[in-house]
Amino acid sequence: MVFTGDGARHLVFGSDGGIDHHPDRYLDIRVPPQVTVEVPAPEGHPGPVVLVAARAEARAGTEREHRFALQCAKDPAFAGYRVRTERLIPVVALVPLDLSGAPGRARVGTTPTRVPDSTESAPHSTGPPHPRSTRSRDCSPNT
């Protein structure tokens, strides 16, 4: 997914080159909509990136159209993606969350804990690995 700054928030575009179904990454950020993203570090910060907790909010209507048009102007390939698919390419705002009041959840600026993927057993599990979950690709950005 393409990522661009938009003031305090960031925008991602679920284009995946104009394929006929939404990219898995877009489906993954819809439920739950809380995500942790790496963004370029502000000037003076040690290191190239920082982690930011954010809420994913699909944009709709005129705001979505405006943001998509700006992205097409910035990267003309996006205009081609729009004509390659019948689906509406999602535009999602990643709105930063202030988790400072929840110390156990305030992961901003720290290294994330590695979470086993769904094909691995959890360290405390004695059972077989869980099968990788599948998600429906027949989703609209408004559901």
pTM over 0.85: no
What is the average pLDDT across 66-83?
Answer: 92
Per domain, the residue ranges of the chain are: 2-96
pLDDT given at position 133 = 32
pLDDT given at position 134 = 33
> What whole-number distance in Å separates Cα of residue 1 and Cα of residue 11?
10
Q: What are the CA-CA distances from residue 122 to residues 14, 40, 104, 110, 119 (Å)? A: 30, 32, 21, 22, 9
Domain 2-96 has CATH 2.30.110.10: yes
Other CB atoms within a 10 A radius of the CB of residue 14 amount to 24
Reduce the DSSP state of residue 19 to 3 states and report it.
coil
pLDDT given at position 108 = 46
pLDDT given at position 129 = 36
pLDDT tens track for 92-134? 999 999 887 766 554 544 444 333 333 333 333 333 333 333 3
What is the average pLDDT across 5-22?
Answer: 87
